[in-house]
Structure formats: structure tokens, C-alpha cells
Amino acid sequence: MQKVEVQLGERSYSICIDNKFASLNAELTAARQVVVISNPTVAPLYLQQVMALFRLADVKHFLLPDGEAYKTLTSFEQVLSFLLEQKMSRDMLLVALGGGVIGDLTGFVAACYQRGVSFVQIPTTLLSQVDSSVGGKTAVNHPLGKNMIGAFKQPAQVIINTAVLRTLAPREFAAGMAEVIKYALIADEEFFNWLWQNQQHIQAQDPAVLAQMIRHCCQMKADIVSRDETEQGDRALLNLGHTFGHAIEAWLGYGNWLHGEAVAVGMVMAARLAVARGQLLPSQLEQIKQLLQAFALPVMPPPAMTIADFMPFMKTDKKVKNGTMRFILPTAFCRTAIVQDVSETELTEVFADGHH
């Protein structure tokens, strides 16, 4: 078992990485009221094992339909209604068993139900294991923008079981790799090279290699979150590719592309912008594209989507400050910064030549 500590004073917690569901803190296993939130894809596989972690005879569960299309205020309200019907008190424990959608939604419920209850993240997709389950960002989507309604709410613990990745659809595994590659592109060339060298082992889901990769991503995220919990500075770098990516997701309709697929294209678009600004070599852009393609990720926006389609979403992005669009862009290979001076004209020029 490997552990990563997220240092946030009294809100600190550990991320436990293992090849089974274990290592839940004793005070959590003793919780008096427990509700597991999951979906019909994950529940038949893992719900019984997770409910068995608790010493209670009576652990309740609530299933939401699977997919990004259900990360909505309606689902949020359904979960709250269930908790109220079950007469759950403030000392209850919520457990998120699923991917990023279940984790984000359960965390937002935990932040709001009776002004805040404890929750545990048990992420079952690669994307949620390396990214969304760590760091306490919770939200639901709105037709006008992704993750626009939410709260910062840190979990009490994160339990990562690498064995669950064996039941993950290949497309979902690939989507998770987009967030893994993102960590390398933000600030870690050594990790980029490691991913390149280990791509066969990763594709074969070698347990030791996966555990090492997931731990590295969690450690990077934990370090950044410890420094900047509510995203005033450094933490925004974790949004590399997300400004373009969120626009793709919203424009296509949530769930048509997976989040990781949209982020992969977003990172390529950010890299293209950096090439146009002379901060990245065309050969480095090619390396980035090749690594993404090695994991079966797209590197081109949807064929029908023009830069004009991106603009309305990018103007309502959470990184907009005082009316100025802010982008996370590479400043060199595997180095990034927040850039404020990207104009609409520049975006149009860089991306006017269509999709290549």
C-alpha cells in the first residue's frame, strides 16, 4: 500500500493506493450512518465490497445514471432528497464510488447537506484516481458551462484500488491517460520521458507500473493543492487544456466526448498557441501529439467546430478575470504558465487554418 498525504492543516487527509479496497480509517469505518453514491455500471462490480468496509449492518446506497449528462442540479437534488427521506444526520458519511461525475456530485452534496458532512472518495476510473478525486473541487454542470456550480470540499480520505481499472472500458482508460500526460506537460519532463518509455507496460496495465504512475500524479496534485487550495495561483496550472476542452464538451453536449478526450485536444490546441508564440518548437508539439496518440487519444477538435464556436464558452470560463480570458500555456517543453494576453484575433489566426 502506498500513501500520499494532502497537507491542509486540520483538513489534511491521506490518499491510499492499493490493489484492493482496504485501509479505510478506523473512525470512518465506525460511522453510524453511511450512504454510498454510485451508478449502475460500477455498483454491480464493487458496491458490496465497499459496503462491507463499514461495521454497520445498515449501509444505504443511491444510484445515479452513468455519465457526464447526469452531472446536473437535478441529480444533486435527487441525492439530497434521498438523504432527507432517510433522515440522515450531520454526522453521517457519504461515500463516492465511481468516476469523476459521481465524485464531483457527491462532494458537492457533502458540502451542502446540512451545511457540510464528511465524505470519502473511492474513484473507479483512471481519470478520477489521478485527478478529480484529489483536491476537493466539487461541482455540477450547467448547459452554459461545465463545473459552474460547486464548492471546495475536501474528502476525509481517498481510497484508490488499482485493480478496478481492469474492468474499465479502454476508452475510459485512455481518457484518464490525458490527465496523466497533463501532469508531465505542466512541469515534469522526466515524467514525460518515463511515460514514453513505459507506454507498453501502462497499456498492459502492469499493476506495479500503474501504482507508480498514479502515486506520482497524486503526489504532484497534492503538492499543488497544499500550496493553493482554492486556485488563486499555481493550482490553475492543473487546467492545462481545459479551457479549450470544456468548450468542446459543452458545444457537443456533455457526454458525447469524454472529459479526457476533450482535454487531450485542448492540450494540443494550447501547445499550438505556444508554437505560434515561439515558446515551443514544432518538433515538441509533435512529441506531445505522439504521446497522446500512443494512448489512443484524439488530437484534433470535432471537424465541424470552428474557433468561433469555442469563443462563447471560453468567455464564461472560470479562469476569466476582469473580463480577460486567461489561458494555461506551455512556456517551454513541460513548463507552463498562466497567460493573460491572448486576444481573440490571435486565437482566430492560430486556429483559422482549420484542423491539422
- Does the annotation mark 166 as catalytic? no
Q: Which of 146, 235, 272, 326 is catalytic?
A: 235
Distance CA 255, CA 98 (A): 16
Which residues, in sequence order, are bridge partners of residue 96? 37, 121
User: What is each CA distance from 235 to 123, 225, 231, 320, in whole angstroms?
Assistant: 21, 6, 5, 15
* Residues in Cβ contact with 305 at an 8 Å cutoff, skipping those fewer than 6 apart: 248, 251, 252
Q: Which of 10, 85, 87, 115 is catalytic?
A: 115
Strand pairing report for 137-142 and 118-123: unpaired
- Does the annotation mark 231 as catalytic? yes
φ, ψ of residue 15 in degrees (nearest 5) = -105, 120
* Three-state secondary structure call for residue 187: helix
Q: Which of 68, 179, 229, 249 is catalytic?
A: 179
Count other Cβ atoms within 10 Å, centred on residue 333: 19
Count other Cβ atoms within 10 Å, centred on residue 57: 5
- Does the annotation mark 153 as catalytic? no
Q: Which of 146, 153, 216, 242 is catalytic?
A: 242
**Is residue 241 within a helix (H) or strand (E), and if so which, with residue range?**
none
- Does the annotation mark 137 as catalytic? yes
- Does the annotation mark 179 as catalytic? yes
Q: Which of 153, 216, 246, 326 is catalytic?
A: 246
Q: Which of 153, 215, 259, 326 is catalytic?
A: 259
Residues 56/88, Cβ–Cβ less than 8 Å: no
Which of 151, 148, 119 has the alpha carbon at shortest distance from 37?
119
Q: Which of 137, 146, 153, 215 is catalytic?
A: 137
- Does the annotation mark 272 as catalytic? no
- Does the annotation mark 355 as catalytic? no
Q: Which of 71, 229, 239, 289 is catalytic?
A: 239
Which of 303, 310, 299 has the alpha carbon at shortest distance from 251?
310
User: What is each CA distance from 202 to 198, 210, 213, in whole angstroms?
Assistant: 6, 6, 9
Q: Which of 229, 231, 249, 261 is catalytic?
A: 231
- Does the annotation mark 221 as catalytic? yes
Name the E strands within the chain: 2-6, 13-18, 34-38, 60-63, 93-98, 118-123, 137-142, 145-152, 157-161, 327-332, 335-339
* Cβ burial, residue 200 (10 Å; 0-12/13-18/19+): exposed
Distance CA 249, CA 114 (A): 32
- Does the annotation mark 227 as catalytic? no
- Does the annotation mark 259 as catalytic? yes
Task: Please list the active-site residues.
Answer: 115, 137, 179, 221, 231, 235, 239, 242, 246, 259
